[in-house]
Structure 1
Amino acid sequence: MSGTDWNTHLEYLTESRKRWINLDYMEFLVEKVWHIDKPVRVADFACGLGYLGSILMPILPNGSTYTGFDNADTLLKEARRIFREADYETNFNNCDLVNEDVNGKYDIVICQAFLMHLPEPEKMIKKMIDITIDGGLIICIDNNWNVCNAAMYIDGLNVDGKCNLGLLSKLWKNEKEVYGSDKCIGTKLPAIMQKLGLKNVSMRLNDCVRFINPYGNKDEYKKQLETFYADGWGHEMGDESEFVKSLCNRGLTEEEAHYQYRCEKEINDYVREMGENLMALTVPPMFISFGTK
């Protein structure tokens, strides 16, 4: 996945996956949209810590099973610990999903924030289809970073010009051309799934909005603030020359890279300055695409 060693990202994955999807909305999908009313076998591609299993399994019919596939030993070890006392059957398998075949047959095959990292996401969706029973459900949940950046608000700071969507779009486009990864794939998935022959293809958008409110519940505020930090805001920017060099290697001009550094630095400095007085709003736009085999 673009060369990332996810074994070293345990803390990031733990924090950033929190509050991506509201649990009541997932219940709505299971009951009202997907109409899952009998036990199912679930396979989760790039399961990581098993986040999807932790929110799906408690609301699925009794007797359902969950199998996670990933190639990060550290994450799988932690996932087995997390699910050790679960009252449903779980299995976690070390598997290089890009280069290895996946065995078994499942009623539901799902993935989240995975396809954006792959140079050929269509091949991975085909693998998901291959292990799904006839009439089974394939669910792909992913992001569009342009939408995410467009929806951010920080009280007391004008972020409109600092989240330069034209510049970021250029960055994502260059990354796709060089590395194959697509940061905007979330909105493209229904078309890909339709072309691959899935039926009843549709999409939902999660209803999660993170309102970081220092005047509300203090415990919830701290949780939301921690998630905001995990998303990459409020940190020290580090050396400007290294930052600029990195962005230039990813296709930006030197002028554009310096501009991006200044924008991100102003946001991060302000977030740190405000500390636990920060009021902000972010929207993690997880596009939930699905279809039947």
Structure 2
Amino acid sequence: MSDYYWDTQYEYLRNTRKLYYNDDYLEFLIRFVWRITTPVNIIDYGCGYGYLGIKLLPMLPEGSSYTGVDKSKELISQAQKLFNHSPYRTEFIQGDIEEMKIQSKNDVAMCHAFLLHMTDTKSVIEKMIDSVINGGRVICFEPHWISNMSNYLIEGVEQSQIVKLGIVQKLYEEDSKRNGKDGNIGARVPILLSQLGLKNVECRVSDRVNFLDQNIELENKEALYSALKDEGLGHEPGEQNDVIKRLMARGLLGEEARAQYDAEEFFSKQFKLQSWLTYAPSMKISYGTVSR
């Protein structure tokens, strides 16, 4: 079995990506914001199983192509299988953007929930820019975890009981200081794009709100509930002493770690298939134009 974490995460990725975007909003971005009216060559860094290709290719002008790059051998294999009989021009490359050299032949460089896993985000974005022709675009779909955490509502439960925003914010900040990976990178990306010389930099927020509606069909409700659980909502925190030790090792004080554990345990008990819940991931979509 592979030691690379993402080689084992295909089912998780496939089950949770549906939580992030409405198709009509993505089509709105393509047609009315980015105004893509002629075929484009897209390269997607950290492509996973080709999620962005699956979503965007049917919306793009005929003749567009999609190249996916990912470090995971298993995810690249899954992507190749999924696109094997598709009508679109696709290519999948196993590789690490931090080590690869890509020619500047692409109209668009994209990434999705990728930069938050990078320890040197700026240099990765620089490589994305280098892989795009003059006048092309860089588009980054990235999370801002603290706004994500503030966007849960369970009917009948006070949000402050299930999410300790101040503690969670400190936890994310301490994690970033310790390992260089920033779960709040979505809010910083437009700043980095502009600092690196891109023009017409803007940032949007996905309009997707997931609603666990008790009046929908059971099959649809179970599918959404399963995706939300896989996303981490209402997960069981585990053995108390072990969890508190890990939280303290990540920078929380003892009292903060205990409060975080209690909130996660309470959330796990409250969130059931029968719950009324709304959840908005609030994915940030930042983009700019390459100008050399």
TM-score (norm 1): 0.94
Structure 2 unaligned residues grouped into runs of 5+:
none
Q: Give the RMSD, CA atoms, in angstroms.
A: 1.5
Task: Tell me the alpha carbon deviations over residues 125-145 of structure 1, each in whole angstroms, 9 at most, x when there is no partner.
Answer: 100100100100110111111
Matches within 5 A, 1:174-185: 174-185=174-185
Match of 1:34 in 2: 34
Matches within 5 A, 1:207-222: 207-222=207-222
Match of 2:80 in 1: 80
Match of 1:48 in 2: 48
> Which letter maps to 2:107?
D
> Which letter maps to 2:82?
I
Q: Distance in 1 between matches of 2:162 and 2:32?
A: 40
Match of 1:71 in 2: 71
Further displaced range: 62-71 or 158-167: 158-167
Given candidates 276, 280, 285, the residue that maps to 2:282 is 285
Q: CA deviation at 1:20?
A: 0.9
Q: CA deviation at 1:104?
A: 5.2
| SS across alignment from 2:21 | coil
Q: 1:122 to 1:4 in 2, by over 3 A?
A: farther
Matches within 5 A, 1:4-43: 5-43=5-43
Q: CA deviation at 1:81?
A: 0.9
Structure 1 unaligned residues grouped into runs of 5+:
none
Matches within 5 A, 1:223-242: 223-242=223-242
Match of 2:105 in 1: 105
Further displaced range: 220-229 or 49-58: 220-229
Q: Distance in 1 between matches of 2:222 and 2:109?
A: 34
Q: Distance in 1 between matches of 2:241 and 2:14?
A: 31
> Which letter maps to 2:251?
G
Q: CA deviation at 1:19?
A: 2.9
Q: Distance in 1 between matches of 2:215 and 2:249?
A: 42
Q: CA deviation at 1:39?
A: 0.7
% of aligned pairs identical?
Answer: 36
Query: 2:105, 2:133 within 8 Å by CA — same for their partners in 1?
Result: yes
Match of 2:62 in 1: 62
| SS across alignment from 2:160 | coil
Further displaced range: 49-58 or 230-239: 230-239
Query: 2:42, 2:106 within 8 Å by CA — same for their partners in 1?
Result: yes
| SS across alignment from 2:35 | coil
Q: CA deviation at 1:255?
A: 1.9
